[in-house]
């Protein structure tokens, strides 16, 4: 339970890459869910992004998608050229896109008021829209496979990917809500909740095809910030934002049995959570153990929770984000610094720098086409500015960046990226 829960969150630019791990869902009911009040049109000149090219770059087949306020963008991942720009017109003028993800060739976005939008990735055409929540607030990022999209806030809904009709609906109590995107593994959908009352916070396991509950795991206190499912194990970070009374642990994905847990502070006053990533039998997380006072990158044995190695972050900053490959760990800091670490032991390999003029809130990062794409929000300027950076991992320099703020974009905008 979060004793000081608020419906607003720090406006951190988020950067998401879909891992298609979902099993096929079979509909138990088909209920059309039209979402009135959602229309799209081409962006006006004021909302078009501004591209700055720093190094020679070639066109690429891959596309980077972004959102800011009510706008969706598609960029050539090679040279940053705009492929299309779409502006959504919502019933509420204050509504805006909150999260963005890709499934196959299409985009799926949620808005603060609970709309779920499906957009053709090649053209920007709105395919369908549905109501994924009747509660205003930060919606979870939609996840899906070739048949089903999962979304919600005070419930989990499974939508038919072709037309947005409802496959199944799993309600939560009026005092319980999701705080992080779900994870799907071996035909089971996992998600964590926070509560506004004295009920315990929980991790749920539902049958992905029917929405039937398989098991729940309860915590006496704390918000379930992060879930990551891999190799039959569900990893979690749980904590109270204000007390920093945090846990890191692992649960057996089939039985719901706790495998291990330990005190681990994953909180950060600006970002709220730390990424969890599994690779080569290790769970990687940013945070600190009770015996340490500095932020570090830890590698835990995924089965036992034993610390294999840790590397201090010498200058802890507002936000640190990471992405991991089979050989290298990439860290992005609020100074715009990119650090490459050796996967086996955390040894520093090299460092580079994004073209930022102020302290920024970096998103998570995505590795695509030998580039790291990073979405940032400047936090020192009078008016927030939102950028997309393309950092070349061969030259260790930035090839280009896009300013997606636009004169139509207000200070409450959120930048999202998806590849």
pLDDT at 13: 34
pLDDT exceeds 50 at position 3: no
pLDDT one-digit tens code per residue, 137-157: 567 788 887 789 999 888 899
Closest among 214, 209, 260 to 233, alpha carbons compared: 260
pLDDT at 240: 65
Comparing 96-100, 133-137, 238-242, 293-297, the range with the smallest average pLDDT is 133-137
pLDDT at 407: 54
Higher pLDDT, 322 or 51: 51
pLDDT exceeds 90 at position 67: no
In the CATH hierarchy, which top-level class contains the domain 14-315?
A: mainly beta
pLDDT exceeds 80 at position 33: no
pLDDT at 81: 96
Structure tokens at 19: 């891992």
pLDDT at 71: 87
Spatial distance between the Cα atoms of 192 and 359, rounded to a whole number of angstroms: 31
Rounded to 5°, the CA angle 197-224-204 comes to: 85
> Percentage of the chain with pLDDT > 90?
42
- Helix-strand-coil split of the chain, %, nearest 5: 0, 50, 50
Higher pLDDT, 7 or 363: 363
Closest among 154, 120, 117, 150 to 134, alpha carbons compared: 154
pLDDT at 408: 55
Q: Are 419 and 77 spatial neighbours (Cβ–Cβ below 8 Å)?
A: yes
pLDDT one-digit tens code per residue, 174-230: 788 887 889 989 999 999 888 877 777 899 999 999 999 999 999 876 677 788 999
pLDDT at 137: 56
DSSP state of 45: G
Spatial distance between the Cα atoms of 266 and 239, rounded to a whole number of angstroms: 8
Q: Cα 148 vs. chain centroid, distance in angstroms?
A: 19
pLDDT at 303: 95
pLDDT exceeds 80 at position 11: no
Phi, psi of 212 (to 5 degrees): -75, 135
Mean pLDDT score of the chain: 80
Under DSSP, is residue 47 helix (H, G, I), strand (E, B) or coil? helix
Spatial distance between the Cα atoms of 182 and 192, rounded to a whole number of angstroms: 7
> Percentage of the chain with pLDDT > 70?
79
pLDDT at 154: 84
pLDDT band at 245 (very low <50, low <70, confident <90, very high): low
Spatial distance between the Cα atoms of 405 and 369, rounded to a whole number of angstroms: 25
In the chain, what are the domain boundaries? Answer: 14-315
DSSP state of 140: P
- State the chain's maximal CA–CA distance in angstroms: 57
pLDDT one-digit tens code per residue, 99-135: 888 888 899 998 888 889 999 999 999 999 988 765 5
Spatial distance between the Cα atoms of 242 and 69, rounded to a whole number of angstroms: 29
pLDDT at 226: 85
Count of beta carbons in the 10 Å neighbourhood of residue 125: 13
pLDDT at 338: 92
pLDDT band at 412 (very low <50, low <70, confident <90, very high): very low
pLDDT band at 328 (very low <50, low <70, confident <90, very high): very high
pLDDT one-digit tens code per residue, 359-390: 777 776 788 989 999 988 877 666 778 889 99
pLDDT exceeds 80 at position 76: yes
pLDDT at 6: 34
pLDDT at 301: 97
């Amino acid at each position: 339970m979060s004793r000081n829960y608020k419906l607003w969150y720090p406006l951190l630019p988020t950067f998401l890459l879909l891992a298609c791990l979902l099993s096929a869902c079979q509909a138990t009911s088909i209920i059309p869910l039209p979402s009135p009040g959602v229309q799209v049109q081409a962006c006006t000149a004021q909302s078009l992004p501004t591209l700055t090219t720093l190094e020679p770059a070639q066109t690429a087949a891959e596309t980077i998608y972004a959102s800011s306020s009510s706008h969706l963008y598609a960029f050539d991942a090679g040279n940053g050229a705009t492929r299309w720009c779409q502006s959504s017109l919502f019933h509420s003028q204050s509504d805006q896109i909150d999260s963005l993800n890709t499934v196959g060739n299409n985009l799926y976005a949620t808005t603060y008021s609970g709309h779920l939008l499906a957009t053709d990735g090649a053209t920007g055409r709105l395919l369908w829209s549905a109501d994924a929540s009747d509660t205003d607030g930060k919606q979870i990022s939609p996840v899906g496979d070739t048949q089903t999209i999962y979304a919600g806030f005070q419930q989990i809904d499974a939508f038919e990917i072709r037309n947005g009709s409802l496959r199944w609906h799993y309600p939560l109590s009026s005092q319980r809500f999701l705080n992080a995107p779900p994870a799907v593994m071996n035909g089971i959908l996992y998600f964590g909740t926070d509560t506004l009352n004295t009920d315990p916070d929980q991790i749920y396991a539902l049958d992905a095809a029917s929405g039937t509950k398989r098991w729940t795991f309860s915590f006496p206190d704390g918000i379930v910030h992060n879930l990551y499912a891999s190799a039959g194990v569900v990893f979690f970070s749980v904590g109270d934002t204000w007390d920093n009374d945090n846990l890191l642990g692992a649960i057996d994905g089939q039985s719901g049995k706790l495998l291990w847990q330990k005190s681990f502070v994953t909180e950060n006053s600006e970002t709220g959570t730390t990424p969890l990533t599994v690779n080569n039998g290790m769970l990687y997380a940013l945070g600190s153990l009770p015996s340490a006072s500095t932020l570090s990158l830890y590698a835990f044995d995924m089965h036992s929770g034993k610390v294999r190695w840790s590397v201090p972050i010498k200058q802890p900053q507002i936000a640190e984000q990471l992405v991991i490959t089979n050989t290298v760990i990439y860290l992005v800091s609020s100074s715009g610094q990119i650090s490459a670490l050796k996967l086996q032991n955390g040894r520093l390999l090299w460092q580079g720098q994004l073209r930022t003029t102020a302290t920024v809130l970096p998103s998570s990062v995505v590795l695509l086409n030998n580039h790291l794409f990073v979405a940032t929000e400047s936090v020192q300027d009078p008016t927030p500015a939102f950028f997309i950076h393309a950092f070349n991992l061969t030259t260790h320099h930035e090839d280009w960046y896009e300013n997606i703020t636009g004169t139509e974009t207000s200070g409450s905008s959120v930048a999202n990226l998806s590849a």
